[in-house]
């Protein structure tokens, strides 16, 4: 980001000198300190002559005083008006977290500002003050340029990165580790004896012993040899270490989980629902089943039972398990493992709604009329027995493909499931009418074969997924509305309106793709019309992605401002307490309401003095970290998958156009990469930013957002997780004249 040059201070009456900026800390020169103390003590502005008199300086020492005054002015320690000097007002020191970019500059995320929609503070490389990615810092705002604040780091409060992973290189009396996180702008020096006998080129984990200075980089020691960086399991482990995820549970947490006893009978108000034909519907590889459903046909419409694992019965606020779950915030799902929020004794055993086993649950009983409108709701702690563990594939075959063999095999449950199909169709229709958005963005699925990436395909998503989602959405909305109307403090799942600047950018991109945008208020229904218009078109993937980027990130907050994407006035997370902590908070608050407590007897989050607002920020950050590490793992696996396929040609869609080149997504695997402008040597290409295209100056050949192209894989950068392609000469490209006719 270009910076506005600072205006030089006028220094009439002061001799020219070579100045040094001393803005990073207090003045250390004795004369400067004396001047500062004098001005602070007097409390009134003084001239240079008056300062010299007060400090008993002779006429021969005036040049030295002028130099000291100039340096104090440069360091912003004093200020002046006319010929008189006085103490400068010290800028406010703000607490923030540093987010570095691979280009060397960073942004200070001020505490609480991002949640309020405030902008981050730009930090130039020379103003980092030795701070690194994720560090907790004090930042001083020094200027504002182009609507964004600029500042400098004045103090590092705590270090975020205490260990890192990377590639070890032998060098002289030891070696060094090159971090595989391009936001860490240094190499870590490893002295001989601290290298664990690592071999050149190995992937390692290292601990930072000394963070060094701006002139000398950090030093550390290797704590684990991870292995060959070309192995998928090694790359996934590196992503886990890079994200500082908690890989194992403390011994006291495991011990507490081992002491828990299963619930086998109804007591303390728990109702018996074991007679109902509850079923779970999950993916083939799922091991923790935290939701089960049952639907009954009634005279007025339907009765939906959404029974959720009663995690709150086992996990008491402030217990060792609870504190650890809060720190993790969420489970993290990786191709070869799950890093669960709860110990396996709970997540896969006591809480999991496995078939033919009595399990404690928290059940939402929701009544709907024949048109799918909710007409009533009741909640109770219950004891259920799931009678079948279904997969999405089986339900899709049974209900939507009408497979006779599958229907015959599950004839006892088919009538109940048909009721669920009819009810969820009504629920989906009502959501669509109010403007709820249904993004269609394929999710890549990585399959491993030992240490190798066997395939990257699109995860199957069928109508059975939508059926269970509609049931969960209905329960989440009902609980949110119940708690809101009861005025019970809880963590809502909120989603604010899109940022106007991003909306303008999307509008330009949509027009470039040939879409006709609705001439109406920009509300959820507006976005829904755009999604519908792009459905089944070549631009569908691009439009959905651009719309998703236009949206603000959903987050957790005690203030209910509604959910824009769902067009819902009330929404929270209730249905997945095994893997999400905010759901457990909702369970505790709802139980307190059912127990008739006017005030929460036990706080729904651990830690004395901790507020729901602080919990919302922390849990939103945990969710963001989980998403980031999953994307990180996908990028690593994508690089490994294509590493031995350099020179091959792929079909791709252009998903982004910049002055530096084309971003693209491969057709079959949805792997992302880039065609650098430097590789497009057949012409000189001009960047049309408003219409998202590159145009050849001589040939008028054009590459535009949403176009399909044939590309050749040129380079795989495993360390930085980047894939570089070049356009195949025969790639289809429209002449500009055709587009303008």
465 neighbors 479 (Cβ within 8 angstroms): no
- Distance (Å, whole) CA 268 – CA 398: 39
Top mean pLDDT of 129-143, 546-560, 569-583, 667-681 is at 569-583
Asked whether residue 221 falls in the same domain as residue 346, the answer is no
Structural domain includes residue 429? no
Residues forming a β-bridge with 661: 658, 676
User: CATH number of the domain that 711 lies in?
Assistant: 2.40.50.140
Q: What is the pLDDT of residue 147?
A: 65
Number of Cβ within 10 Å of residue 134's Cβ equals 19
535: enclosing H helix or E strand: none
- Distance (Å, whole) CA 143 – CA 591: 50
Mean of all residue pLDDT scores within the chain: 88
User: With bands split at pLDDT 50, 70 and 90, how would you rate the model's confidence at 113?
Assistant: low
Asked whether residue 549 falls in the same domain as residue 573, the answer is yes
Is a pLDDT exceeding 70 seen at residue 735? no
Asked whether residue 191 falls in the same domain as residue 258, the answer is no
Asked whether residue 417 falls in the same domain as residue 494, the answer is no
Of the candidate ranges 424-438, 532-546, 567-581, 676-690, the one whose mean pLDDT is the lowest: 532-546
Give Cβ neighbours of residue 616 (< 8 Å, ≥ 6 apart). Answer: 115, 491, 555, 556, 557, 558, 582
DSSP 59: G
User: CATH number of the domain that 222 lies in?
Assistant: 2.40.50.700
Asked whether residue 536 falls in the same domain as residue 559, the answer is yes
> Six-digit token pair at 182?
């391009």
Structural domain includes residue 4? no
Alpha helix positions (H), 595-678? 612-642
Is a pLDDT exceeding 90 seen at residue 544? no
Closest C-alpha to 432, from 527, 540, 570, 539:
527
39 neighbors 48 (Cβ within 8 angstroms): no
Closest C-alpha to 637, from 451, 459, 461:
451
Is a pLDDT exceeding 90 seen at residue 677? yes
Asked whether residue 620 falls in the same domain as residue 491, the answer is yes
Distances (CA, A) of 562 to 36, 554, 555, 588: 53, 10, 11, 21
Is a pLDDT exceeding 60 seen at residue 6? no
Higher pLDDT: 361 or 504? It is 361
Structural domain includes residue 432? no
Structural domain includes residue 724? yes
By CB neighbour count within 10 A (0-12 exposed, 13-18 middle, 19+ buried), where does 28 fall? Answer: exposed
Asked whether residue 173 falls in the same domain as residue 151, the answer is no
DSSP 125: G
Higher pLDDT: 279 or 141? It is 279
Domain that holds residue 217: 163-227
Is a pLDDT exceeding 50 seen at residue 260? yes
Residues forming a β-bridge with 592: none
User: With the C-alpha atoms ordered 737, 511, 674, 500, is the resulting torsion angle positive or negative?
Assistant: positive
User: With bands split at pLDDT 50, 70 and 90, how would you rate the model's confidence at 339?
Assistant: very high
Q: What is the pLDDT of residue 8?
A: 34
Split into its structural domains, the chain has a count of: 6
Structural domain includes residue 42? yes
pTM of the model: 0.83
Q: What is the pLDDT of residue 3?
A: 35
Average pLDDT over residues 421-433: 96
Burial 67-85 (b: 16+ CB within 10 A, else e): bbbbbbbbbbbbbbeeeeb
Average pLDDT over residues 216-230: 93
Q: What is the pLDDT of residue 441?
A: 75
- Distance (Å, whole) CA 588 – CA 489: 11
Question: What is the phi/psi pair of residue 203, to 5°?
Answer: -80, 130
Over the stretch 70-107, which tens digit does the pLDDT of each residue have?
988 887 788 888 889 998 877 778 889 998 888 888 99
Asked whether residue 479 falls in the same domain as residue 604, the answer is yes
Asked whether residue 70 falls in the same domain as residue 122, the answer is no
Asked whether residue 397 falls in the same domain as residue 272, the answer is yes
User: CATH number of the domain that 80 lies in?
Assistant: 1.10.10
Over the stretch 162-179, which tens digit does the pLDDT of each residue have?
999 999 999 887 899 999
Query: What does DSSP say about strands 271-272 and 374-385: parallel, antiparallel, or unpaired?
Result: parallel
User: With bands split at pLDDT 50, 70 and 90, how would you rate the model's confidence at 533?
Assistant: confident
Domain boundary among 134, 158, 182: 158
Domain boundary among 423, 445, 465: 423
Structural domain includes residue 437? no
Q: What is the pLDDT of residue 532?
A: 84
- Look at residue 530 and give its three-state secondary structure: helix
Structural domain includes residue 464? no
Q: What is the pLDDT of residue 598?
A: 77
Asked whether residue 281 falls in the same domain as residue 188, the answer is no
Over the stretch 688-707, which tens digit does the pLDDT of each residue have?
988 899 999 999 999 999 89
Structural domain includes residue 6? no
Q: What is the pLDDT of residue 41?
A: 87
Q: Which DSSP string do the residues of 231-282 spell out, in sequence order? A: SHHHHHHHHHHHTT---S--HHHHHHHHT-----S--TT-EE-TTS--EEEE
- Distance (Å, whole) CA 112 – CA 120: 11
Q: What is the pLDDT of residue 224?
A: 96
Asked whether residue 72 falls in the same domain as residue 103, the answer is no
Average pLDDT over residues 300-325: 97
Q: What is the pLDDT of residue 9?
A: 32
């Amino acid at each position: 980001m270009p910076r506005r040059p600072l205006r030089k201070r006028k220094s009439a009456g002061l001799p020219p000198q070579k100045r040094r900026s001393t803005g990073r800390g207090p003045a250390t020169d004795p004369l400067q300190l004396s001047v500062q103390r004098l001005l602070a003590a007097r409390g009134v502005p003084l001239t240079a002559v008056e300062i010299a008199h007060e400090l008993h300086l002779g006429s021969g020492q005036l040049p030295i005083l002028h130099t000291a005054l100039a340096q104090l002015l440069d360091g912003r320690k004093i200020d002046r008006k006319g010929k008189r000097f006085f103490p400068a007002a010290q800028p406010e020191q703000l607490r923030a977290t540093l987010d570095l970019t691979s280009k060397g500059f960073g942004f200070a995320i001020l505490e609480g500002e991002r949640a309020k929609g405030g902008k981050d503070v730009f930090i130039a490389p020379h103003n980092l003050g030795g701070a690194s990615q994720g560090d907790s810092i004090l930042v001083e705002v020094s200027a504002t340029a182009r609507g964004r604040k600029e500042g400098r780091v004045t103090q590092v409060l705590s270090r975020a990165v205490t260990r890192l992973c990377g590639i070890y290189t032998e060098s002289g009396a030891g070696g060094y580790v090159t971090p595989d996180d391009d936001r860490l702008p240094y190499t870590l020096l490893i002295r001989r004896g601290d290298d664990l006998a690592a071999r050149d080129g190995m992937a390692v984990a290292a601990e930072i012993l000394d963070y060094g200075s701006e002139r000398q980089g950090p030093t550390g020691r290797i704590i684990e040899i991870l292995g060959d960086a070309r192995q998928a399991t090694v790359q996934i482990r590196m992503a886990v270490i890079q994200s500082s995820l908690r890989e194992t549970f403390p011994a006291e947490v495991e011990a507490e989980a081992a002491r828990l006893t299963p619930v086998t009978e109804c007591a303390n108000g728990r109702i018996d629902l074991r007679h109902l034909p509850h079923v779970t519907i999950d993916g083939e590889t799922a091991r923790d089943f935290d939701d089960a459903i049952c639907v009954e046909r009634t005279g007025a419409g339907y009765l939906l039972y959404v029974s959720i694992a009663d995690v709150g019965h086992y996990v008491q606020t402030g217990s060792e398990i609870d504190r650890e779950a809060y720190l993790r915030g969420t489970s993290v799902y990786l191709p070869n493992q799950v890093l669960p929020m709860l110990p396996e004794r709970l997540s896969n055993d006591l809480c999991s709604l496995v078939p033919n086993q009595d399990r404690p649950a928290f059940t939402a009983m929701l009544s709907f009329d024949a048109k799918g409108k909710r007409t009533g709701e009741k909640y109770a702690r219950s004891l259920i027995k799931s009678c079948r563990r279904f997969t999405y594939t089986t339900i899709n075959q049974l209900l939507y493909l009408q497979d006779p063999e599958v229907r015959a095999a599950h004839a006892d449950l088919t009538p109940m499931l048909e009721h669920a199909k009819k009810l969820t169709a009504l629920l989906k229709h009502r959501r669509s009418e109010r403007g709820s958005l249904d993004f269609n963005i394929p999710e890549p699925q990585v399959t491993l074969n030992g240490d190798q990436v066997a395939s990257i395909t699109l995860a199957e998503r069928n109508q059975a997924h939508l059926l269970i989602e509609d049931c969960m959405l209905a329960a989440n909305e009902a609980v949110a509305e119940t708690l809101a109307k009861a005025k019970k403090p809880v963590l809502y799942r909120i989603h604010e309106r899109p940022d106007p600047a991003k909306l303008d950018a999307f509008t330009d991109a949509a027009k470039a793709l040939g879409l006709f945008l609705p001439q109406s208020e920009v509300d959820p229904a507006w976005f829904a019309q755009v999604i519908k218009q792009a459905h089944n078109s070549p631009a569908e993937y691009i439009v959905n992605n651009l719309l998703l980027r236009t949206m603000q990130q959903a987050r957790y907050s005690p203030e209910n401002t509604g959910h824009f994407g769902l067009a819902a006035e009330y929404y929270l997370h209730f249905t997945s307490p095994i893997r999400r902590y905010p759901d457990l908070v909702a369970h505790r608050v709802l139980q307190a309401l059912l127990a008739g407590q006017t005030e929460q007897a036990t706080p729904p989050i651990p830690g004395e003095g901790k507020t729901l607002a602080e919990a919302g920020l922390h849990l939103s950050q945990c969710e963001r970290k989980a998403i980031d590490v999953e994307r990180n793992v996908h990028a690593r696996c994508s690089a490994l998958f294509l590493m031995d396929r350099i020179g091959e040609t792929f079909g791709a869609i252009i998903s982004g156009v910049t002055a530096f080149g084309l971003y693209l997504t491969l057709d079959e695997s949805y792997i992302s990469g880039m065609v650098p402008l430097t590789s497009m040597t057949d012409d000189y290409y001009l960047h049309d930013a408003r219409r998202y295209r590159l145009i050849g100056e001589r040939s008028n050949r054009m590459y535009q957002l949403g176009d399909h192209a044939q590309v050749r894989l040129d380079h795989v950068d495993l360390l930085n997780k980047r894939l570089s392609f070049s356009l195949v000469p025969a790639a289809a490209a429209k002449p500009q004249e055709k587009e303008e006719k």
